[in-house]
Amino acid sequence: MAKILDEPGKILVIWPPQVLSYFNAGHHLALYQVAGHLRAIYPSAQVTTIDASVERLTWKDLGNKLFQERYDAIAVMNEFDGIDGFRRFVTYAKALNPNTSIVTFGRLSGVNPRYFERFDIEAIVENGDFEAGVGAAMETFCDRATEAAGVHLRRDGSWVAPTRRGDLLPAEDWYLPTPDEIPHALYDALYFDDANKFCGIPRRRELVVPAARGCPIGCSYCEVPLIFTKKERRLTVERTIQYIEESFDAAPFEYVAFYAPTFTLDKKWMEELCQELIGRGSPYPWKCATTIHHLSEGMIRTMGAAGCIRISVGLETLDPEESTSLPRAKQKSTMDLDRLSAWCTESGIELNCFVIVGLPGTTIEGVERTIEAVQERGGRARPTVYAPWEDARPDLLDHEMAAFNRQLFVPGTHTLTDDELARGYDIIFGSQRDVTQVFENIPARTAGPALRPA
């Protein structure tokens, strides 16, 4: 039974141990942003952050920390591909410190919060900013509040749903982690083999800049509008550049990854950012993700001049008869890809195209044609499997929930033949010929052996 706290003295923010299905440093950034937010709320508390999956901790390592530190409260991050270690972590945490209070937050609880009601925890963040939800849950642990916006709470053995959506923080209140808080050398190793089609660039160190939250496009397969709403919020250009400059001065970063659902959505902001970077001599190579709809020839030319070396777009599919299930902004043709690839080539930018395998109404042949079209134009295709979140019921077993990791076809949710399944898995797990060489366009910085994986 978790105890009521006067104020938490020790807080743990953790990604539980697991074998990662996929790695994107931007997705892990929330660990450090939540921790920084909690330090601001509880300045006298000791807040520890552990990314156990990246840090390769054993359960004994973790058990030692849980038993010796006796954390008053624990915030456990959940992910689409991370349910495997969640149950075991909660079991360890409660066995070694029965009085600890646990809240979970993350993308999986944003689309299927009631799934987590089966675990011995006290709170589940469903929507709103993760920092706000975890902070609100902590206030209930301290008996300073009886409800928490966007958070499911366990009361006397029963779960109570939130009465309103979770809070959204102004962008100026987002915590931006310092370089020493994050295990970047371990990230380098995870990105080293580009055949895995992870988002980072091999052989170069990445600084993730959380530029924006929220997205108005409304893709049915995307969790962003569910959690952060369709209204976008952004850092100011001034704070964005200040964070980049301070981080590059403090550590041997070599390029910037702008973390935003649709980075080029705000054209005025983009123009201001690019001109500021150009005015500094475009010293920071950078990449971003957006949509074809929110790009133009002039914008891409300006982005290239400002140091952009990769643009990732949610292409999803090129077949016209198959794209009708996508939002209008995503319904693009081969002609659109022709123009985009030509613009990127002229500006010295690598084009990286996200492609969905198993999107409703599509065929494996259509996916193969889409990837071939991208590769013929010199682009890099990054495929993922469609996850039908409408079928992710709260009563799924752990292994059933784990199948929604965007690498496996969820049993019972598709009509693919055995041959089509085999071809689909060949797209995801077969050999990849379009590996990136874009790191050659990023100057390497001398920083000792930790920067380069063995």
145 and 207 inside one domain: no
**Residues 251, 135 within the same domain:** no
How many angstroms separate the Cα of 384 from the Cα of each of 79, 115, 214, 332? 16, 23, 22, 18
* 406 and 295 within one domain: yes
Instruction: Identify whether residues 143 and 261 lie together within a single domain.
Output: no
- Do 133 and 262 share a domain, yes or no? no
| The pLDDT of residue 449 | 34
| Together in a domain, 137 and 231 | no
User: pLDDT by residue (tens digit) across 284-309?
Assistant: 999 999 999 999 999 999 999 999 99
d(CA 149, CA 327): 30
Calpha distance 329→125 (Å, rounded):
30
Same domain, 342 and 200: yes
- Is residue 165 included in any domain, yes or no? no
Q: Which of 136, 160, 184 is the last residue of a domain?
A: 160
Contact at 8 Å (CB) between 223 and 107?
yes
Q: What is the pTM of this model?
A: 0.94
Residues 207 and 341 placed together within one structural domain of the fold: yes
Asked if residue 170 is part of any domain, the answer here is no
| 128 and 233 together in one domain | no
Block residue for tokens 């500006």? 347
Region for 46 from its dihedrals, namely left if φ exceeds 0, alpha if ψ lies in -120 to 50, beta otherwise: beta
Is 302 in the same domain as 425?
yes
Boundary of a domain, candidates 129, 160, 191: 160
The answer to the question of residue 335 being in a domain is yes
pLDDT tens digits for range 9-39: 999 999 999 999 999 999 999 999 999 999 9
Tell me the per-residue pLDDT of 62-99, one tens digit each, with 9 for 90 and over.
Answer: 999 999 999 999 999 999 888 889 999 999 999 999 99
pLDDT category at 115 given cuts 50, 70, 90 is very high
Instruction: Count Cα neighbours of 404 within 13 Å in the Cβ-side half-sphere.
Output: 26
Residue 2: inside a domain, yes or no? no
Domain count, the chain: 2
What pLDDT does 432 receive?
87
Q: What residues pair up with 74 in beta bridges, in sequence order?
A: 12, 102
Shared domain for 221 and 123, answered yes or no, is: no
Q: Is residue 4 part of a domain?
A: no
Give CA–CA dist 140/156, Å, rounded: 14
- DSSP letter at 4 equals P
HEC string of 179-212?
A: HHHCCHHHHHHHHCCHHHCCCCCCCCCEEEEECE
Decide if pLDDT at 324 tops 70.
Answer: no
pLDDT digits (tens, 9 = 90+) for 118-166: 999 999 999 999 999 999 999 999 988 899 999 999 999 899 999 999 9
For residue 5, is it within any domain?
Answer: no
Domain that holds residue 233: 176-449
Rg of the chain over Cα atoms, rounded to whole angstroms, equals: 22
Residue 259 and residue 294 share a domain: yes
Q: Residue 125 is part of a domain; what is its CATH number?
A: 3.40.50.2300
Determine which helix (DSSP H) or strand (DSSP E) holds 51, and give its type and residue range: strand 46-51
pLDDT tens per residue, range 333-376: 889 999 999 999 999 999 999 999 999 888 999 999 999 999 99
- HSE-up of residue 310 (Cα within 13 Å, Cβ side): 28
What CATH number should be reported for the domain holding residue 198?
3.80.30.20
On whether residue 166 sits in a domain, the answer given is no
Copy the structure tokens of residue 302. Answer: 């300006």
Answer with the one of 105, 125, 160 that is the final residue of a domain: 160
Q: For residues 47 and 25, give the distance between their C-alpha atoms in angstroms, rounded to a whole number.
A: 21
Residue at 168 is within a domain = no
